[in-house]
Structures are given as C-alpha cells and as structure tokens.
Amino acid sequence: MEVTFLGTSSAVPSKYRNHPSIALKAFGEIMLFDCGEGTQRQLANVKISPMKIDKIFITHLHGDHILGLPGLIQSMGFRGRDSQNPLHIYGPVGLEKVKESIFNMGHFTIDFPVIMHEINNSGDEISIIFENDDYIVECIKTHHNVVNLSYSIYEKKKPRFLREKAIELGVKPGPDFGKLHNGHSIEIDGKIIKSEEVLGPPRSGSKIVYSGDTIPCEEMIKLAKNATVLIHEATYKNLDFDKALNNFHSTASQSAGIAKEANVDLLILTHISTRYTNIDDLKEEALNIFENTKVAYDFRTLEI
C-alpha cells in the first residue's frame, strides 16, 4: 500500500501546499480521498494517471475538498474514458447536486458513468460502504460545521498457508494449495482436507484512516482504533486553539491525542493552515503527546 499526498493545505492553497487530496495505491487500484482544486495537476507531477482512478471518497462538501472534481472528470472524458470504466464517487448526501452542477458546467462530453454513492450516516456507528475479497472501506460521521465523513480502508489479510503441513497431509504443490488458502476444502484419495487444517491463526491487515475535517471526537477514536496509519487534520497550533474550536478543526496536539487514545502505529498531520511558515512547531506540539508523528507535505509518499 502506497499513500501519496497530493495536497496538504487547508482552505486556500499556498505556493507549497495544494488543496487537500490523497492518492492510495493498493490492491491493484488507485483511489482518491478528497479532490481539491488542482488535483489533476498534482497527479501529473507524481505520474499517476487519472484514467486508473475508479473510486473517489469525499469527506465533505466544502470547496477545498471537491473543486478538483469538475476538471478531473472532464479530463477523463477528453482522454477517452468509456462506458466500461465507470467512476464511483462516495460521500455525504448532496453529491448528486454536485454532479448536476459539474455536468452543467461548460461544454464537454462524458462517455462513461459517473456514479454517486450518497452516504446517509446519521448516527455515531461505523458503516461499511464498500467490501470485496481484498479490503473493506468504512466510514463514520465526525464533527465539522458541515457533515463530514471520516474513512478507513482495511486490508483483509489471509492466514498464513502452512505449506509443510499441507504436504504432510498429501497435498501436492499446485492449484490445491490455492484452493485451501482461499478457504475451500479439497478431496485427496477419498479424504477431505479442510482449509483450517493447513492455515495459521488469523492475521490483521494494514488499516489506514483519514479524518477529513473534524474537531476531536469519540467517533474518530472509534474509527481509528489500532490503525496502522492515522492521517488527521491539524489545521492549527495550540496558540490558535480558539480558532480551531470556532471553525470545527483540530490542533496538532489534539490530533496527537486522538492517535494516542486510538493506539495507532503512525500519525500523519495534514490540512495545515497557510498562516504557519514553521511547520516544525506543529510537529513538536504533536510529538509531546504522540512520539511517532510525521507531517505531510505535497508529494510525500509513504509505503505502508
């Protein structure tokens, strides 16, 4: 799994920080989390083709998190994306209105489906919004001044295949190994061999969590519990705590507090206000509470 930060600013972009967007390469796919203005140019800088993006997860409908969608979708159309390659966009209720606005903006042709998945998560429980054999995407409603969805993507990791044990039971290397590893039973000389006989204990896969914009809340701790990586907004320093509170954002130290409570392995701070030129101050504030903290910057890439 590879995370690339395409934009790490809040509200307005700066010379060094673009509007929010994160690209995740995993499971043979490329997914986006948020799509701020200028995202497609950031993709070009890191040589990620928009044509390979099939899913976009939007945290909330503030402009700095969605205004990259019109240009990105139009560019996909210019490049010849067709009906066999739909684009799925997940986010809060209101996405259909965003789509309607995009499709009435200027003159262009789109020959591929753009499918909006509006998530009506009104409670404080975690919801599964996508699942396949490889991973699960979950979300929970957190606390901003508009509806904000925080997301987690969790790798389904198979138990280790006990090769020597399988051979002892008479299984020959080949397709039967794969069947057993995928949970199926097989028959050899009239004897049924069950998958659990040749599989190790359950294993936890990697879990990446992205906050979007939110004040610290129990819902965020619940979603981020035992995550491999928590990517959390840190719009303000402690000095500007009142601004963070009034604007429903988090300080760096508050984000670190969430990471500590949730027992995550790594915290990455993002969504940094352009008012700050010394980013080390935010990092130091977080490090005082949670020692494994990094600060995101545009084009930073992390292998998970």
Q: For residue 196, give the nearest of 216, 182, 208 by alpha carbon.
A: 182
How confident is the model over 249-286, as pLDDT tens digits? 999 999 999 999 999 999 999 999 999 988 899 999 99
For 263, phi and psi rounded to 5 degrees? 60, 45
Query: What tokens were used for 23?
Result: 């690209």
- 102 pLDDT exceeds 90? yes
According to the model, what pLDDT value does residue 292 have?
A: 97
First to last CA, the chain: 5
According to the model, what pLDDT value does residue 20 have?
A: 97
Residue 23 CA from chain centroid, whole number: 8
- 215 pLDDT exceeds 90? yes
- 122 pLDDT exceeds 80? no
Question: Whole-angstrom Cα distance, residue 116 to residue 127?
Answer: 17
**pLDDT-based confidence at 68, cuts 50/70/90?**
very high
- Output the 3-class SS for 20-48: CEEEEEECCEEEEECCCCCHHHHHHHCCC
According to the model, what pLDDT value does residue 53 have?
A: 97
According to the model, what pLDDT value does residue 177 have?
A: 86
Residue of 34, 54, 64, 280 marked active site: 64
According to the model, what pLDDT value does residue 114 have?
A: 97
Q: For residue 238, give the nearest of 191, 186, 184, 283 by alpha carbon.
A: 283
**Mean pLDDT across 144-171:** 89
**Percentage, residues of the chain above pLDDT 70:** 100
- 143 pLDDT exceeds 90? yes
**Mean pLDDT across 164-174:** 85
**pLDDT-based confidence at 71, cuts 50/70/90?**
very high
Which spans in the chain are helix H? Answer: 39-45, 63-66, 69-78, 95-103, 163-168, 175-181, 218-224, 241-246, 252-262, 279-287
According to the model, what pLDDT value does residue 288 have?
A: 96
287 residue type, one letter: L
The answer to whether 189 is a known catalytic residue is: no
Q: For residue 222, give the nearest of 109, 127, 93 by alpha carbon.
A: 127
**pLDDT-based confidence at 198, cuts 50/70/90?**
confident
**Mean pLDDT across 78-100:** 96
- 290 pLDDT exceeds 90? yes
**pLDDT-based confidence at 234, cuts 50/70/90?**
very high
